[in-house]
Structure 1
Amino acid sequence: MKIRLAASALALGWALAGASAAPAAAEEGMWTFDNFPLARVNQTYGTSLDQAWLDRVREASVRLQGCSASFVSPDGLILTNHHCVVSCVQELSTADRDYVANGFIVATREEERTCPGQTAEVLTDITDVTDRVLQAGAGLEGGAFAEARAAEIARIQDEACGGDRRLNCQVISFYRGGRYALYKFRRYGDVRLAFAPEFQAAFFGGDPDNFNFPRYALDAAFLRAYEDGRPVATPNHLVWNARAPREGEPTFVSGNPGSTSRLLTIAQLENLRDVQIPVAQLQRSELRGRLLQYSQSSEEAARISVDPIFGLENSFKAFYGQQQALTDTAFMAEKRRQEAELRAAVAADPALVQRIGDPWTTLEEVQGRIENLYLPYRQLEANAGGGSTLYAYARSIVRVAKERAKPADQRRAGYSDADVERLSRQLGTERPIDADIEEIYLAFWLSKTREYLTVDHPQVKALLGDESPEALAERLVEGTRLADPAFRRQALTMAPDALAEADPLLAFVLANDEAAQAVRNDWQAQVSAPTAQAAEKIAQARFAVYGENQYPDATFSLRLSYGSVRGWTYRGVEVEPFTYMGGLFDRATGSPPFNAAEDFLAARAEIDPDIVYNFTTTNDIIGGNSGSPVIDAEGQVIGAAFDGNIHSLGGAYGYDGAVNRTVVVSTAAITEALRDVYDQPRLLEELGVD
């Protein structure tokens, strides 16, 4: 979901029925497929969903890198959002052929082009592994606890996948550590771009329209999964239905919501509000300014900076919306009430108190440690490199070299031979790297590290030496060979000493990695481990008090939400749930960002103005759900979720069914665009559209 916020201020009115501890209210929740409330949904909507329906939807649902999608044909065709593939579109573009501006529109499958690094994953199996994971850390504290847990999780994953490149096995924590499940995915590593409209068609209205409604955006694109050079056979796909949605009809969103924090304690929420979000937002804001300034330096700079700016603004607006919720008095009062209710229920049960102790006080103490550790941890480890792809390559290579020098049984989790083989494949992927953008990221990170940790900090001195952030960044980017995938693969086989001589960026990372890992170890021992242990106990308390009919926080794992097509009323203003294609031309002014795409203007006479373009539903979603299929009760796809309304910004912490809405691009509009705007008969035939 594109996380955006309009410039206007917002007073949040939070109902938060069941947003933290209590069982979920109607239409709230991102449910796992093995705990979906079928009976409740069927009773509420008069539907007849069953396990077979759930299985069909699961088998057609696709997880992309950071987004969601679905198979919509028997030949591996994948529906997702344009903003989920814009980085691929930009990587395939050149100064002479700008697919972002003009769209990626081809006539045959043979012209479909590989998206570098993109994968498509389908969930095939779910296995509970809670006992194994919990027992692994029993009796341990701090770093030892964290390492034991990580090692056991790695063993479970390796056992399940057995080195099969076609599989991805992931142990996922649910309920903040109350449950652990092994998710096994069928993985496709050759994903190609099949169709993408112009950026302006997908993003009409720009930032002013984001997180608002009405919307007039064709935020849709098609990929295709390949294997052994041929399109993947996908008999378990969603049927394309190009009909208009009906107000009030039930809708289901199957996707991979990225992260919510609805189960955090008050102490944790206050720390996010007061410490972590403000620092990150200040840096995002300044980095955005640097990128915007660079984008104005030339036409080529403007072209290559589209996606970096796009992604940065997404993040900024997401966290701005989250902080709005955390500073809302009514919201925080309700969260305090819910926490007090749970704690009182625990206190009234001596046996439960004996079993879990007082994890809330533990987490309060942890937040005090975070205030001291957060800046060094963020600058030297968690956000090291500032988003530089080259730096990320270098750090991965350096850490593999250092771990591989150890006996196999002493390596940290994540550095097994199978892990290194996967990394080698990733590093060997050819993808364009823009040196100017890399220098901006590195210079900004170095300058902010110096500013936040101070000039006299020993690690700042070690990082910079006698150089300025800008000069050091320029030297490292100009000198490194890590843009070459062949060199990256070669470097992955080198010993640490050889790395230092082979490349200046590798030498830079190697010289500073010991200090960075020391900060990571401190964070793991003083923050991550005690947080995990306390959160598990709170999860046990929730299960004991409220039962297990609850949905967990989002973890970028496959979920299913239910709702209906519906508008909303706010401060006496009624917002209808539909926009229509003709409304695009009424809203277009000719000036950015309200300039209609050229292909739409050229086809205006052919477009049916009464076709539903975008619509809203009550489904509970969050970032990561971008591209999720919106499915009707028959299991047919009628749209792709691409955004939320302004009231959904605090969805990371709670759901208000009165005003929170999902924004969807309809299959009716996509079909019309493929037929009358972009002349794509091959895709229409594949989708089964006459």
Structure 2
Amino acid sequence: MSLRRLGLTASFAAMGGVAFVLAAAPAMAREEGMWTFNNFPIALVNQKYGTNIDQAWLDNLRSASVRLNGCSASFVSGEGLILTNHHCVLSCVQELSTAENDYVQNGWMPATREEEKTCLGQTAEVLTDIIDVTDRVLAAGQGLTGAEFTQARNAETAKIQQENCNGDPKLTCQVISFYRGGQYALYKFRKYDDVRLVFAPELQAAFFGGDPDNFNFPRYALDAAFLRAYEDGKPVETPNHLVWNSSAPAEGDVTFVVGNPGSTSRLLTMSQLEWTRDQQLPITLIQGSELRGRMLAYAATSAEAKRVATDPIFGLENSFKVWYGQNQALLDPAFMAKKREEEAALRAAVDADPALKQRIGDPWSELAQIQSVARELYLPYRQLEQGAGSRSTLYSIGRAIVRTGKAREAGRVSDAQMAQFGQRVSADLPIDAGLEEVYLGFWLSKTREYLTVDNPQVKALLGNESPEALADRLVSTTRLADPAFRAQVATMTPAEMAAADPLLAFILANDDAAAAIGARWNNEVTAPTAQAAERVAQARFAVYGTNQYPDATFSLRISYGQVQGWTYRGVEVPAFTYIGGLYERATGSEPFNLAPSFAAAEDRVNKQAVYNFVSTNDIIGGNSGSPVVNAKGEVIGAAFDGNIHSLGGSYGYDAALNRTVTVSTAAITEALRTVYRQPHLLAELGVE
């Protein structure tokens, strides 16, 4: 599985309905919760497990934890070595590959540090400070509505970020909303933008079992890789790193997962959940399924097409399972009944307190009305603005150039901001013309289908061309694949852009309509939702207190649990798999064929070594690569998956069934020693 952040949430999946156990009050003694580092229940965990963790223990974990683009990771040596998942570096491996040297299939294993290669666009961020800024952010929008509310909030958060980072390229400042707008905090990160690939096994070793095994257990996947952070051309000194423990845990051992879960929706109201179930997810599923078919067809056209499409297809297939799982969760009557009971209990508690009722009002009814507006606007908003261009890199870059140019012409962009934008937009990116045509043709055809042929915006988009012909023309004639050209047009006026490039001209011709529907969505859905959700959060605080965790927001969290299997419908699933099971499971046919290195090492490898294990930790997409640590704070694995039941994690947690799937440091150590023969890495990890 990819636990990479998807810009969406993981949830329920097939295998019938799973009954969720959700407490009315959010303070729990069970393993539920993705806790922030400034509100972790230390006393509760120590009492439950007999541990002796303290603030210093937490601080070291925070300082050793790393946020990657869409993934999580950790420093595991004093020389900037980073442990994460293979699927978190797969795009980098693919970018470094060529038709002659396919490192995706063969693995990346340089002999020296001098051969470690930069992963373009990858950053590594370490959280250094958490500062409460709730009062400032809430005050900024006081008494405002619609666009004025959104603009005031955005301006204040930008001001806070600027004050704290002051344009320092080594820092990232991010104001993050918690509890659906009930609290705001500034997260300050130390950023490293020179991140290099150190080690990655073959894809078949990392993703043995492929899509059939995804979100399932038992698993036999070496989903692990190493990066290294550099600065000024040298490895970063990282005295705060996790100690490598090459021994596997025992069943019942306490485990902690530290990472950046992307997004959950456990605090949504019933009307929001129903809109998600009835409109958003079904459309997303239908379109995702068709796009997957088009991408598979493209991949079948040549060996090179298959190579460049591997990672995009991997990501889309994983996303599709998540979307399907979300929909199944919200179709489960028992689950939705429980959510209704919880909402009714909270609303009754508010109604029973006249002072609280006066302060809170009825945000639930307001949110229900907003969903009616969302139903009307969603299709044009999705097709013209939110999902415009599908996954096209060329379109995304082009629209960024166009909108920045328009903002500069209106005096809304400073010279310093333009300089930073120029650097970003001129970065070297791998762009495959064939995939670009698939993406643009798909988007244009779906826009015509969903908005209809006679829609004015559809007519403006297509003119007299078919979606496929238009996509072919735009991709074959644009110069936006050239970084130097992108840097050049980024300095032009919009009129000059239109004359310089056909794709920019196309985007400019249709951008006003896209921006207009985006503005309506922000004014009529996003802004009023934020205001109403804040009052729901205030109600929860008033009724339940502060002993609760917020929804995931791709911000650093820590969850606690223990190594434990589970029982489902009378079938007991053990907590561990062993390397020997890999060879027993192998059939010789994809996706159950052995990676060549593992096949060659069968007579040498320790088949009794623990390969993957499961624990009760609460995780979601974005936790990919999260270090799994023991009570001593030693790393014992990297989380890479959840079981089929954990897909309900978007909307609720079930302690009996939800499990995190981890590749053990015992397996990684054995692979480095016996399968791939990497003594320099073992020495750096402190393994004899």
Pairing partner for 2:22 from 17, 21, 30? 17
Show the counterpart of 1:301: 305
Cα distance in 2 between the residues matched to 1:310 and 1:73: 30
**One-letter code of the match for 1:17?**
L
1:59 aligns with 2:57: no
- Are the aligned partners of 1:6 and 1:210 in contact in 2 as well (CA < 8 Å)? no
Q: Indicate if the aligned counterparts of 1:6 and 1:208 stay in contact, CA closer than 8 A.
A: no
Which residue in 1 is equivalent to 2:262?
A: 258
How far did residue 21 of structure 1 move?
A: 5.3
**Residues 44-193 of structure 1 aligned to structure 2 (within 5 Å):** 44-193=48-197
Q: How many residues align?
A: 683
Where do residues 519-530 of structure 1 align in structure 2 (5 Å cutoff)?
519-530=517-528
**Residues 374-410 of structure 1: CA deviation (Å, up to 9, x unaligned):** 0000011111100100100001111111111123xxx
DSSP 3-state at the match of 2:238: coil
Does residue 676 in structure 1 map to residue 674 in structure 2?
yes
Structure 1 contact 218–670 (Cα < 8 Å) conserved: yes
> For the Cα contact (< 8 Å) 1:137–1:146, is it kept in 2?
yes
Query: Contact 1:82–1:202 (CA<8 Å) still a contact in 2?
Result: yes
CA contact 1:3–1:315 (8 Å) conserved in 2: no
**What SS does the aligned partner of 1:239 have?**
coil
**Could you tell me which residue of structure 1 aligns to residue 287 of structure 2?**
283
CA distance in 1, matches of 2:170, 2:544: 39
> How far apart, CA to CA, are the structure 2 residues paired with 1:249 and 1:629?
15
Question: Residue 564 of structure 1 contacts residue 618 of structure 1 at CA under 8 Å; is this kept in 2?
Answer: yes
CA distance in 1, matches of 2:123, 2:614: 29
Q: Counterpart in 1 of 2:226?
A: 222
SS of the residue corresponding to residue 172 of structure 1 reads: strand
Q: Which amino acid aligns with 2:257?
A: V
Letter in 1 for 2:572: E
Alpha-carbon shift at residue 191 of structure 1 (Å): 0.7
User: Do the aligned partners of residues 662 and 7 (structure 1) sit closer, same or farther apart at CA in structure 2, a change above 3 Å counting?
Assistant: closer
Counterpart AA for 1:683: L
SS at match of 2:668: helix
Q: Does 1:647 align with 2:628?
A: no
Contact kept in structure 1, 2:11 and 2:646, CA below 8 Å? no
CA contact (8 A) 1:215 1:579 kept: yes
1:507 maps to 505
> Is the partner of 1:512 in helix, strand or coil?
helix
* 187, 200, 213: which one aligns with 2:204: 200
2:567 counterpart letter in structure 1: T
Whichever residue aligns with residue 455 of structure 1, its letter is V
Supply the distance in 2 between the matched residues of 1:80 and 1:301 (Cα, whole angstroms): 27
Residue pairs, 1:276-675, within 5 angstroms: 276-407=280-411, 411=412, 415=413, 417-675=415-673
Q: Secondary structure, in 3 states, of the residue corresponding to 1:105?
A: coil
Please report how far the alpha carbon of residue 120 of structure 1 lies from its aligned counterpart in structure 2 after TM superposition. 0.5
Counterpart of 1:369 in structure 2: which amino acid? V
1:314 Cα offset (Å): 1.0
Contact kept in structure 2, 1:30 and 1:620, CA below 8 Å: yes
1:89 is paired with a residue whose SS is: helix
- CA deviations 1:514-570 (Å, max 9, x no partner) are 111101100001000010000000000000000001000000000000000000011
- Contact between 1:45 and 1:250, CA under 8 Å: does it hold in 2? yes
Match of 2:7 in 1: none
Structure 1: distance between partners of 2:234 and 2:379? 48
Shift of residue 417, structure 1, vs aligned partner: 4.8
Q: How far off its partner does 1:7 sit? A: 13
Alpha-carbon distance change, 21 to 423 in structure 1, aligned in 2, over 3 angstroms: farther
Q: CA separation in 2, counterparts of 1:443 and 1:597?
A: 36
Deviations 1:274-307 (A, max 9, x none): 0000001100000000011111111111111101
User: Could you tell me whether the CA contact under 8 Å between 2:207 and 2:223 is conserved in 1?
Assistant: yes
3-state SS in 1 of match to 2:36 = coil
C-alpha change, 1:199 and 1:166, in structure 2 (3 Å) is: same
> Cα offset for 1:3?
5.7
Matched to 1:298, the amino acid is S
| 1:100 shift after superposition | 0.5
Hey, what's the Cα distance between the residues in 2 that align with 1:258 and 1:14? Answer: 24
Secondary structure class of the residue paired with 1:616: strand
Give how far 1:243 is off: 0.5
Inter-partner Cα distance in structure 1 for 2:423 and 2:404: 14
2:2 alignment counterpart: 2
Q: Any conservation in 1 of the 2:308–2:432 contact (CA below 8 Å)?
A: yes
TM-aligned CA distance change 1:273 to 1:21, over 3 Å: farther
Q: CA deviation at 1:8?
A: 9.0
Secondary structure in 2 matching 1:529? helix
Partner of 1:638, secondary structure, is: strand
Contact kept? 1:17, 1:24, Cα under 8 Å = no
Percent identical across equivalent pairs? Answer: 70
- What SS does structure 1 have at the residue aligned with 2:129? strand
8 Å CA contact 1:86–1:100 kept in 2: the answer is yes
Query: What 5-or-longer segments of structure 1 have no aligned partner?
Result: none
Of residues 17, 40, 47 in structure 1, which corresponds to 2:44?
40
Say whether the 8 Å CA contact 1:674–1:681 is kept in structure 2. Answer: yes
Q: 1:500, CA displacement in angstroms?
A: 0.8
Q: 1:269 maps to what in 2?
A: 273
Please point out which of 34, 59, 65 is paired with 1:30: 34
Letter of the 2:347 partner, please give it: R
SS state at 1:104 partner? coil
Rounded Cα–Cα distance in structure 1 between residues aligned with 2:19 and 2:599: 41
RMSD: 1.4
The CA distance in 1 between the partners of 2:421 and 2:114, in whole Å, is: 29
- Deviation track 1:609-644 (CA, whole Å, cap 9, x = no partner) reads 000000000000000000000001101100000000
Structure 2 counterpart of 1:149, which letter? R
**CA-to-partner distance for each residue in 1:408-441, whole Å, 9 max, x for gaps?**
xxx3xxx555544433222222121100000100
| Other structure's SS at 1:193 match | strand
Could you give the per-residue CA deviations for residues 33-62 of structure 1, whole angstroms, max 9, x where no partner exists?
000000000000111111100000000000
Listed as ranges, the gaps of 5+ residues in structure 2 are: 5-9
Q: Tell me the CA shift for residue 482 of structure 1.
A: 1.1
Partners in 1 of 2:418 and 2:123 — Cα distance? 18
Q: Aligned partners of 1:295, 1:493: CA distance in 2, in Å?
A: 37
SS of 2:459's partner is helix
Give the secondary structure class of the aligned counterpart of 2:435.
Answer: helix
Distance 1:144 1:551 in 2: 30
Report if aligned partners of 1:619, 1:662 keep a CA contact under 8 Å in 2.
yes
* TM superposition shift of 1:101: 0.6
- The answer on whether the counterparts of 1:3 and 1:211 sit within 8 Å (CA) in structure 2 is no
Q: Using the alignment, how far apart are the partners of 2:242 and 2:116 within structure 1?
A: 22
> Are 2:566 and 2:574, in contact at CA under 8 Å, matched by a contact in 1?
yes
Structure 2 CA distance for aligned equivalents of residues 96 and 15 of structure 1: 50
- Cα distance change, pair 3–64 in 1 and its aligned pair in 2 (3 A): closer
8 Å Cα contact 1:191-1:226 kept in structure 2: yes
Please tell me whether the aligned partners of residues 142 and 530 of structure 1 are also in contact (alpha carbons under 8 angstroms).
Answer: yes
Shift in Å, 1:498: 1.1
